[in-house]
Structure 1
Amino acid sequence: MPSLPEGTSGEGPLALSTHASTVTAEELRDRLVATIGAIEIDAANVESVGQAVLQLLLAARNEADATGRPFAIVNPSQPFVDRVRACGLAAPLGLVEEEFPA
């Protein structure tokens, strides 16, 4: 049986790449699909985030909600927060505006 990608066993958050883009989206998708239980995304090191990754995060959030699993984005970097806000996705992704002032 193949091993799960790193970060999928519930031992910690899935870390987003520094430049989370279309190039890294397929790996993220695979990691999200393999995740069992709560989905926790660490966005601490993100310097830029593209549309493909944002779409995956939104889909993961919606799937988590539909299946009753927790979903959280932790340690979001300022560039991540800025991009999510600019796209109008703060609330849909569960980022509480008061926690991340402009």
Structure 2
Amino acid sequence: MTELVAENSLVLDADLGAKAAPKLQAALLERRGHPVVIDASKVGHIGGGCLQLLLSAKLTWDSDKQGFSLVSPSQPMIQALEFTGLDTAFSQEQGA
């Protein structure tokens, strides 16, 4: 589901539909307590469940005072964030 690039870094898969949510959750939980970089450059589809997981993770990392970065979002990822109004939650990571 995700590719380990470096310690505590993830490259998200192209298809993050509902079936991908449990694996994404597990991958995020493995990295809790450490700064994490999420590479969203390959995302072609992301469903509401995975968007919700990413938002929850960002809020958790912020609460834990750990770095959480969503980098290189693909156009479909940007569109999904804008459509749901979550673009502002991740705006720093997008460079907006």
For the aligned pair, the TM-score class normalised by the smaller chain equals 0.7 to 0.9
Q: CA deviation at 1:97?
A: 9.2
- 1:56-67 alignment, distance < 5 Å: 56-67=53-64
Calculate the TM-score normalised by the size of structure 2.
0.85
Task: Provide closer, same or farther for how the CA distance between residues 66 and 99 of structure 1 changes in structure 2, counting only shifts above 3 A.
Answer: closer
Aligned residues of 1:20 and 1:50 also touching (Cα < 8 A) = yes
Runs of 4+ in 1 over 4 A off after TM superposition: none
Relative to structure 1, the CA distance from residue 19 to residue 42 in structure 2 (aligned partners, 3 Å threshold; closer, same or farther) is same
Q: Does 1:42 align with 2:39?
A: yes
Match of 1:44, SS state, is: coil
Show structure 1 runs of 5+ residues with no match: none
* Count of residues in correspondence between the two structures: 94
Normalised by the length of structure 1, the TM-score is 0.81
1:19 to 15, 33, 36: 15
Q: Percent identity over the alignment?
A: 30
Map 1:1-102 to 2 at 5 A: 7=4, 11=7, 13-35=9-31, 36-92=33-89, 94-96=90-92, 99=95
Coordinate RMSD, CA, aligned: 2.3
> Which has more radius of gyration?
1
